[in-house]
Each structure stands twice: as structure tokens, then as C-alpha cells.
């Protein structure tokens, strides 16, 4: 974002807009860093409206100059949209247009990487396809009160992602049975080997077990080809065989290197390992520890590392490209980290962070009550007392039917109230079963 390769705007009007946008971006960063209080909708909306106002002015300035080269203003504006998008997730407005911006950025990265590597399975595309459909419905919502510019901008981004996704699906659709299953298995093994080589302690036996699976798949071939139940060579057999050979070669390289990264790429590797491990940790404790705006720093760091590649590879200080093992290992870590960011974004709850502690408690209560119900219920009403007491204590927190934080009414009231009602209903059903 700070790279001098991105020029300053030449137009004085654009320079003035850049100054104002930079100020708004700095305000967003300050708001993001403040952990002393939860993020309020009104604070976010004021800054969002200021950005939209500046965008209107920029569109007037650039009217008829659609092909204009990107300058510093575009980059700072992109940062603002990215931050605002994550803020909308944090305040629980996940189904509104601005929340889609950060998600489309991450999806675009994932699709570009899948296209570049040519290594992906139907599972990879399925989730992205569903997410893009959801974003489509948000953008086409006739009740959207957001700026037409934002809707148009995001619609173009979604369409771009859809085109990329369609090209990837087309490649997979060419394979005949039983190759899709074999292909998915090979992709899974390849990634498992890359994971094994990036663990804190390298376990040779882990890779050897995966190598055994590869040899079993290799032995299922007939005269070097995969065949179907009728003994016919299906379409895509050559590509699958090529992927299998690639996996076997990679297993030998991983076993030979044992996770050792040369010193000239060690610093970059450590940064990526740190990002991957941190995101993995957050994904395990997400409901209790994630503030979506924190993802901005991870994304920014990853984007910088990813964009520093030259012809798809990284160069050391002497301008020498990374060898195959290093390149693939670093790429695996970059892609894995983007994958975690995507997962955390689509898992964002439509509830303000101020209500998340209550919402998470109710989620846990609901899971417990469902498990009790599925395991045969309770034998006495007394067993339900702990659940009932907790539910009533949460219910008593409401003021005029609303969960308040100070004088504020945080976003997500409907979702929390609905979850509370579901818990009461489950408790009521269990009580009735005992009494009957």
C-alpha cells in the first residue's frame, strides 16, 4: 500500500480527495486498534458515509476517464473499503452490501491461486460457489439502502469471480469416472504432505504413510493408465497420471528436505508460518476471540508477500529465484492462510461484537439441550434447573425486550432473541417429556 511504485494523483481535485480519504482511513485504523470498547454501528456509519461522499466526488472528477491508470488514491480507497467491509462484519451487518467487499477480495485471491496452480478439487469450488450466490442475492436485494456505486462496484467484482469460477468448473467437468474421486484424493495427499513439511517438528512417518497411499493408487493403473469398471481408459487419465507422478516426486523431495528452509528465504518463511499458525488458532476459538477487523492486518501482510513474486516466484536479496521446494512451501502457506481468512469471514455471525458473549452462551446452551434431547432426555425436572436458571438470567438482561449495552442497542437483536426463544422451547419440550 505504501509502495512508491504507485504514483500520486496529478489532478489537484484528486489530491484533495486523497487527503480526505487518507484521513478517513487513519480514523478507521484508530477505531480498529481501540480494544477498550466495542465497535458501535453509528461510529462506522459516519465514516462509511464520508467515504461514499468522497467517491461521488471522485466519479465526477473522473467522468469519461474510465481507463485512467491507478494511482495512490485508488490504493488508499481500496484500504478504506476493505476496512469498512470488515467493520460491517464486526457490527453484525454481514448481509449488507459493504460487508461483501473484503469477501470478494479474498475469493478473488483464492480463485487466482487455484487457476495458477491448476490443483483444486470440487470441494474447493463448492463453498466459493455458494458464497458467491449469497453475495449475488445481497446485491440484488431491492431494499438495499446503500450507494448505487457500491452495488455496481461489488456486482462487477462478483461477476469477475463467477467467470473465474466457471473456468475452473469447466476443467473439472471434463474428467470421467472414476477419475474425480482419484483426483480429489491426490489433491488431499499433496496438501497433507505440504502441511507435514511446515510443522514445527517434521515427522518422516507421516509422509511415508501418504507415500504408501500414492503407491496404492499407482498400482491400480493398467499399463500406466487409469481405467473404469469396463476396462476403458476414461477422459482425463493422462492428466491424473501426471498429477500422480507429481505427487510421488513431491513426496521424495519432502522426505529429502525434512522441512529445512535455506537461510535466504528463512525470514519470509517464518512470517508466513506465524500468520498461518495465528489464523489456525483463531479459527479454533473464533466464536470467542475473533474481531473481524483483525483480519485486515493478516490480509495486508499476505497481499504484500504474494504480490512481491516475480513471474510466480520469490527472489532472494541477490535476485536469485527460490528453488522448487521453497517456492511450493511458501505458496502452500500463502494459500492456506487465505483459506483460513475466507473461512473466518463466511463464519462471521450476524451479531454485533457487543452481543457476541450472550450469543455464544446461547449457542452453547442450545447445543447442550439438543444433546440432552438426542440422548433420551432427562429423568427429572431438577436436571433442567441449571439450563433454566441460565436462560432466565440471560432473559432478565433485556430492557423493554432489547439487549442494551449502556444506552446503545447493538445490531443483531433479532438473532439473539430468536436463539433465546429456541433454547426456551427446547427446555420446555424436555420438561413436558418428563411430566408426561
Give 375-397 pLDDT, tens digit per residue. 988 888 899 999 999 999 999 99
H runs (alpha helix) in 220-355: 237-257, 266-284, 286-289, 295-307, 324-346
All 3 cell numbers of residue 175? 474428467
- CA separation (Å) from 316 to 147, 306, 421? 45, 14, 59
pLDDT on residue 143: 62
pLDDT attached to residue 162: 96
Cell of residue 367, nine digits: 447445543
Q: What integer pLDDT is reported at residue 1 of this predicted model?
A: 41
89 neighbors 292 (Cβ within 8 angstroms): yes
Q: How far is CA 241 from CA 68, 113, 179, 192, in A?
A: 46, 22, 10, 19
- Residue 244 cell numbers, joined: 500422480
- Residue 256 CA, chain-centre distance (Å), reads 33
Q: How far apart are CA 334 and CA 303, in angstroms?
A: 9
* Contact (CB, 8 A) for 345 and 106: yes
- Residue 330: closest CA among 298, 302, 296: 302
pLDDT at 2: 46
* Structure confidence at residue 315 (pLDDT): 93
Cα separation, 314 vs 305, whole angstroms: 9
Q: What secondary structure letter does DSSP report for 310?
A: B
Positive/negative CA dihedral, 84, 87, 91, 92: positive
- Whether the CA torsion 139, 141, 146, 151 is positive or negative: it is positive
Q: What is the pLDDT of residue 210?
A: 95
User: Of how many residues is the chain composed?
Assistant: 436
The packing angle between helices 100-117 and 148-173, to 10°, is: 30
Residues 6+ positions from 158 with CB-CB distance below 8 Å: 100, 104, 132, 135, 136, 139
How far apart, in whole angstroms, are the C-alpha atoms of residue 113 and residue 12? 38
> What's the confidence (pLDDT) of residue 31?
94
294 contacts 341 by C-beta, under 8 angstroms: no
Lookup: cell for 67? 481507463
d(CA 310, CA 321): 8
Counting as low any pLDDT under 70, the low residues of the chain are 1-5, 66-68, 142-144, 286-289
DSSP letter at 383 equals: G
What would the grid cell of residue 157 be?
A: 467484482
- Cα 236 to Cα 239: distance, rounded to the nearest angstrom: 5
Choose among 189, 205, 207: nearest CA to 197: 207
Q: What is the pTM of this model?
A: 0.90
pLDDT digits (tens, 9 = 90+) for 305-333: 999 999 999 999 989 999 999 999 999 99
Q: Match 480429489 to its residue by C-alpha cell.
A: 184
Grid cell at residue 160: 469477475
CA distances for 24 relative to 17, 28, 54, 131, angstroms: 11, 6, 10, 29
Closest CA to 62 of 30, 18, 112: 18
Q: What are phi and psi of 271, to 5 degrees?
A: -60, -45
Residue 3's pLDDT is: 47
Task: Determine the pLDDT at residue 421.
Answer: 95
Amino acid at each position: 500500500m505504501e509502495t512508491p511504485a504507485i504514483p500520486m494523483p496529478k489532478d489537484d481535485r484528486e489530491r484533495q480527495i486523497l487527503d480526505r480519504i487518507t484521513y478517513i482511513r487513519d480514523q478507521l485504523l484508530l477505531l480498529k486498534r481501540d480494544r477498550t470498547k466495542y465497535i458501535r454501528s453509528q461510529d462506522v456509519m459516519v465514516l462509511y458515509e464520508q467515504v461514499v461522499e468522497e467517491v461521488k466526488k471522485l466519479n465526477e472528477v473522473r467522468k469519461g476517464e474510465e481507463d485512467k491508470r491507478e494511482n495512490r488514491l485508488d490504493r488508499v480507497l481500496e484500504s478504506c473499503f476493505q476496512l469498512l467491509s470488515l467493520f460491517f462484519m464486526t457490527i453484525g451487518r454481514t448481509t449488507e452490501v459493504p460487508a461483501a467487499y473484503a469477501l470478494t477480495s479474498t475469493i478473488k485471491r483464492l480463485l487466482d491461486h487455484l487457476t495458477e496452480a491448476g490443483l483444486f478439487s470440487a470441494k474447493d469450488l463448492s463453498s466459493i460457489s455458494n458464497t458467491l450466490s449469497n453475495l449475488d442475492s445481497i446485491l440484488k436485494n431491492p431494499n438495499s439502502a446503500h450507494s448505487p456505486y457500491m452495488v455496481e462496484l461489488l456486482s462487477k467484482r462478483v461477476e469477475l469471480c463467477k467467470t473465474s469460477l466457471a473456468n475452473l468448473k469447466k476443467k473439472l467437468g471434463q474428467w470421467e469416472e472414476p477419475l474425480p474421486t482419484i483426483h480429489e484424493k491426490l489433491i488431499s495427499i499433496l496438501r497433507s504432505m505440504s502441511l507435514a513439511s511446515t510443522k514445527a517438528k517434521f515427522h518422516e512417518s507421516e509422509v511415508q504413510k501418504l507415500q504408501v497411499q500414492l503407491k496404492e493408487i499407482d498400482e491400480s493403473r493398467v499399463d500406466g493408465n487409469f481405467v473404469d469398471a469396463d476396462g476403458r481408459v476414461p477422459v482425463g487419465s493422462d492428466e491424473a497420471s501426471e498429477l500422480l507422478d507429481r505427487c510421488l516426486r513431491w513426496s521424495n523431495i519432502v522426505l529429502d528436505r525434512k522441512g529445512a528452509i535455506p537461510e535466504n528465504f528463512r525470514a519470509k518463511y517464518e512470517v508466513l508460518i506465524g500468520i498461518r499458525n495465528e489464523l489456525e488458532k483463531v479459527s479454533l476459538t473464533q466464536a470467542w476471540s475473533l474481531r473481524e477487523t483483525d483480519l485486515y492486518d493478516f490480509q495486508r501482510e499476505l497481499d504484500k508477500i504474494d504480490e512481491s513474486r516475480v513471474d510466480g516466484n520469490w527472489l532472494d536479496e541477490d535476485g536469485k529465484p527460490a528453488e522448487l521446494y521453497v517456492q511450493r512451501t511458501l505458496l502452500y502457506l500463502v494459500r492456506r492462510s487465505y483459506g483460513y481468512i475466507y473461512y473466518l469471514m463466511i463464519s462471521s455471525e450476524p451479531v454485533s461484537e457487543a452481543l457476541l458473549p450472550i450469543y455464544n452462551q446461547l449457542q452453547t446452551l442450545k447445543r447442550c439441550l439438543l444433546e440432552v434431547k438426542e440422548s433420551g432426555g432427562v429423568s427429572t425436572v431438577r436436571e433442567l434447573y441449571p439450563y433454566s436458571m441460565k436462560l432466565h438470567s440471560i432473559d432478565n438482561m433485556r430492557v423493554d425486550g432489547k439487549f442494551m449495552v449502556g444506552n446503545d442497542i447493538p445490531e443483531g437483536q433479532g438473532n439473539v432473541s430468536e436463539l433465546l426463544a429456541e433454547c426456551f422451547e427446547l427446555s420446555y419440550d424436555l420438561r413436558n417429556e418428563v411430566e408426561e
